[in-house]
A = this chain, B = another copy of it.
Amino acid sequence: MEVGEASTITCFPTTEQNPLQNPNLLVNQQTETKLQNPKTTKGRQKIEIKEIKEVNRRQVTFSKRRSGLFKKAAELSVLSGAQIGIVTFSRCDRIYTFGNVDTLIEKYLHKTTVMLRSHPGGEVANGEEGDEGVMWWEREVESVAEEEMEEYKNALSVLRDNLWTRICELGGDRTVEMNVPALMNPTVMNDHRGHGGNDHGGLEFAMVPFMSPNARQ
């Protein structure tokens, strides 16, 4: 089908013509409809699903379709009672989220973790005799003998290095509220622009909640 093809033939299947238009125009609109309004728009055009080159058009599309996506997600969530979380990084790494992402991430990781646990690479969680075969961070800390503390210190050191390297690297970003479909709470986070508001509904992450026994003040 070509673009210009269908434009010539237009058909109104439904009876109503202009549900909510300016009443002033209703009088003599029939006479010169074509002249006044030859073809206001070509309507929605078919587009190929491939990266949009033109920056402006791409941004518009991103914005519109993101809204549409979030709306769909909200509807799906309500209709089916499912929990949905969406994380979107725009091309320039601005992040937009939908739903209670933190909670869902936690749940996701938990699930995969549990999965790991019940079907470990080696074997784990066959706890028969004490803590043997259990990941060390799973063990009760109280069961650690005093003389093992030195080793723990080393383990913690490596842990710290790994964690810190992995997770904390650069700049500071904040969270900005977005237009909401009135159902869940999509949010936008920018990289370096301040904005106090951040409801951050739920979750605080792993290492966040507690400070060092030493660093407190």
Contact = CB atoms under 8 A, between A and B. Distances in A.
Contacts of A164: 113, 135, 137-138
A180 interface: no
Contact of A206 (B14, B142, B167): B167
Contact of A15 (B5, B153, B159, B170): B5
B213 A113 contact: no
Interface in A152-183: 152-160, 162-175, 183
Contact of A106 (B66, B124, B166, B170): B166
B112 A173 contact: yes
Interface residues of A, number: 121
Contacts of A183: 49
Given A6-B14, A11-B13, A215-B132, A75 B62 contact: no
Given A9-B15, A49-B75, A141 B114 contact: no
Interface of A: 1, 5-6, 9-16, 47, 49-52, 58-59, 61-62, 65-66, 68-69, 72-73, 75-76, 78-91, 95, 97, 101, 104-122, 124, 131-142, 144, 148-149, 151-160, 162-175, 183, 189, 191-192, 194, 205-215, 217
A160 to B, nearest CB: 4
Contacts of A165: 106, 109-110, 113
Contacts of A166: 106, 109-110, 113, 205-206
